[in-house]
Structure 1
Amino acid sequence: MISYTGLDQQKQNMIDWTEILHKIGVDVPLGAEQFNIECPFHTDDKPSLAINTEKGVWICFAGCGQGSLKSFIRKRMGWSARKIIDFLVENSEGYDPAKMFEIDTPAPLGLPALEEKVFPYKQYVVPKWIFDRGFDKFTLNRWGCGITPSNGLVIPAHDKDAKLVGWIIRREFGIPKYVYAKGFKKSHILFGQPLVDTSNAVCITEGALDAMWLNQLGYQAVALLGMQMSKVQEDLIVGLPSKEIILCLDNDNAGKKGRDYILTRLRGRVNISYLKLPNQYKDVQEVKKYDILKETINNRRSW
C-alpha cells in the first residue's frame, strides 16, 4: 500500500524552507536555521512565531498553533495536503516527486513514523470548568487546547518534531475521564516534547494535565500518557536536552510500580531522580501552592 507518511528528517533537509516560505509571502531571514518573526495569524508587535527550517517545524507562542511547516502552509494558504505536496515538489529543485511517497518506510533511528492529523475541534476556546482547576488562559493557549461539542477539553498531542499525531479529550463528567483519538499511538511520543528546551531538569508525569500544570508553574515537563514507559518513550527520554530527569508519577500503587520500572530501565543511562509527594496529594496537579511544589521538587530523591 502506497501512502503519504510525511517527510523524514533527510527529506526535510532537501527542501529549502526559506525559499518556500518566501514564496507564500512570509518574510524570513536568509541563512538562519532557527529564528523568531512576527506571526501572520494574529496582530503582532513582537516576534512570537518560532520557525526551525532544519527540522521543518513552527510554533506560535501566542497560541495560533504549532506543527510541521506543511501544516503552516495549510493554515496560511488554505491548501489541501495534495496541493501542498505538489507545491513542494514544484519548488524543490532536483527533488524526485516519487520520493514524496513511501511504501511502509521506517522512520529515522528506528522510531515509528506517525501519521500527521488535522485537528477536528475548535481550538483556543476551552470549557469554563478547566479554569476551576487552576489553569490560566496563557497555559491553555500555549498547549493549543480546544473544546468538544459536549464541553470536554481537547488537548493536541505532537511528536518530537511538533507534528500533530493525535489528541486527548478530558471529560468534565463521565467514565472514562480521558478519551484518546482513534488510532493515536500515545506510547510512541512524549506529550509536550516539542516545548522542551535545553534545561537542567525535565519532569516526567503520567497525565497531560500534570505536565501542563508543572509547565504553568515554571518547570519543563512531558507526559507518558500512562504509568507505563514504552521502549520508544525510553529512548526519547534519554534524548531529552536535560541534565536530569525527575519522575513525577502519580502517588498510588500503580504510579509507584511505574516509577520503579522506569528507574530500573533508565539507571546508568540518565541522571534520574523522583518525587515523594505528601500523602494527601494523588498527583502533582493537586499541589496548587507553588511553595509546596517547589519544596517537594527540591527534596526529590536521587537514584
Structure 2
Amino acid sequence: MTWVNFQTVRENLDVSEVLSHYGFDVKPNGQDQVKICCPFHDDHKPSCGLNLTKGVFNCFSCQAKGNILDFVARMEGFDPDQPRELRKAAVLACEVFKIDGGSKETPAGDQPKAKPRDKQAGKRPKRTEQASKDGAGSAPRSKAEAPCQSANLEVDADVVNPALTFELKLEPEHPFLSGRKITKELVQEFGLGFAKRGSMAGRVCFPIHNEDGDLIAYAGRLASEDQKEDKPRYLLPKGFEKSCVVYNLNRVIAKREQLIETGEDVDDAVVIVEGYWSVLRLHAVSVPVVASFGASLSPQQVSLLVQAGFRKAILIFDGDEGGRKGSEQALPVLATRLFAKTVSLEDGVKPDEMSDKIVAELPRYVR
C-alpha cells in the first residue's frame, strides 16, 4: 500500500497555506497566532486558535484540537483518531499541497499509528460506507452493475490523474441545481451536490471519473450567478490533467456495453460538448455525450474515444467566439481518427440551451 510518514507530512504542511486553501483569510497577530471561526461547530465569532510555528490548533469552545494534519483530516471529513482515515488524509495532503510525505512501498501493518486523543472533542461523525456512496454518488465502472470503489484505491504518483482515496460529502438538494431544472434522478446518477467545506466550499460539485469509472477529481461551480472577482466561476483541483480525461465517457461506455450484452445494435457516434450542464441535458434524453472540459480537444482525448469504439463524432461547442475558435482547432484533431462534423449554434447559445429540433437529430445509444 502507499505509505506515508505522518511526522514528515506534519512538518511539511504550512499552516498559512492550509488555511488559504480552505478559504480562511487571516493574518498573524504578531505572535505567530491566528484565530478563525471554528469550522467544526457553528461558530459566529473566532474561537479556534492556530499556531503558525508549531502547527497546532485548539478551539476554546468545542474543544477540537490537534496538529495541522488533524486539521486537514477533519476539514476533509476524515476521523484523525482512526489510523486508516488519518493515512488517507495524509496521502490527500501530499497530493493537494505537493509535498513529499516520505512515501514508499511497505508491507501492510507497518504504517505508523495515529496517536490517541480525546475522541469526543469536536469530532465529526464517522463516515460510513453507505454515507460515502450517498454523498458522492460514484458512477459505475464499465460494467453497469459494478460500482466505483475509489475509497479503497491508493495514489500512484506515476499515474496521471490517479484515483482518489476519498469522497467529498455533498448535499444533493440545493436551490442552484433545482433552479437549473436538474432532476433528482440526474443529481443522483451523476453524484452532484453542494460542498460546505474543503477546497470546493461554496460550490456545486461534479465528480469526475476516468473511462474505467474510477473517481479521480471533483470540479466545482460557484453556487451563484454572481461572479466574484477573487474566485473563478469553475474550479478544478491543482495538478488535474483535463487533456487526459473525457467527462462522462465512463457512463457512455457502461451504457454501450450494457446494450451490446443484450444484443442491441448500438450507434457508433458520440456527441462532444464543452461542459457539464450540456452533458446533463443531452444524457437525460439518451444521447451518448461527453465533454472536453472547455473549447479544446487533445489527441489523448480523441484516443480515448477511439478506444471506446466510436467511429463518428459530432462536435457542438458553445455559440461564442471561444467555441468557434475551439471548433476550428478541434475538428482537424478529431478528423485524424474519426469521421467528424460540427453543429454551429447561434450567438450566445450553449448545447444545454439549443433547440429541441437540433437535439432530436442527434444520435441515440440505439440506432
Secondary structure in 1 matching 2:303: helix
Q: Does 1:235 align with 2:303?
A: yes
Aligned length, in residue pairs? 212
Q: Does 1:187 align with 2:258?
A: no
CA 1:123 to 1:3, structure 2 compared with 1: closer, same or farther past 3 Å?
A: same
CA 1:123 to 1:269, structure 2 compared with 1: closer, same or farther past 3 Å?
A: same
Distance 2:328 2:203 in 1: 33
Aligned-CA RMSD value: 3.3
Moved over 6 A (4+): 2-5, 49-52
- Seq. identity, %: 23
**1:126-137, aligned counterparts within 5 Å?**
126-137=173-184
- Residue of structure 1 in register with 2:356 after alignment: 290
- Residue of structure 2 in register with 1:117 after alignment: 164
Displacement of 1:223: 0.6
Deviations 1:208-261 (A, max 9, x none): 221122111221111111111123212112223234211011111221121122
Distance 2:287 2:186 in 1: 12
Displacement of 1:171: 0.9
- Residue of structure 2 in register with 1:206 after alignment: 274
- Residue of structure 1 in register with 2:211 after alignment: 160
Deviations 1:85-118 (A, max 9, x none): xxxxxxxxxxxxxxxx9784xxxxxxx5431114
Give the partner amino acid of 1:293: V
Unaligned residue ranges in structure 2 (runs of 5+):
5-90, 92-128, 132-137, 257-265
Distance 1:138 1:157 in 2: 18
Q: Does 1:270 align with 2:321?
A: no
- Residue of structure 1 in register with 2:286 after alignment: 218
Distance 1:245 1:133 in 2: 27
CA 1:103 to 1:124, structure 2 compared with 1: closer, same or farther past 3 Å?
A: closer
Displacement of 1:194: 0.5
Distance 2:195 2:140 in 1: 29
Q: Are the counterparts in 2 of residues 124 and 141 from structure 1 also a CA contact under 8 Å?
A: no
Distance 1:102 1:179 in 2: 23
Secondary structure in 2 matching 1:227: coil
Distance 1:207 1:50 in 2: 18
Secondary structure in 2 matching 1:266: helix
Secondary structure in 2 matching 1:210: helix
CA 1:116 to 1:103, structure 2 compared with 1: closer, same or farther past 3 Å?
A: closer
Considering only CA atoms, is the larger Rg found in Structure 1 or Structure 2?
A: 2
Task: Give TM-score, length-normalised by structure 2.
Answer: 0.50
CA 1:190 to 1:50, structure 2 compared with 1: closer, same or farther past 3 Å?
A: closer
Displacement of 1:264: 1.0
**1:44-123, aligned counterparts within 5 Å?**
66-67=147-148, 69=149, 71=151, 74=152, 104=158, 113-123=160-170
Distance 2:157 2:204 in 1: 36
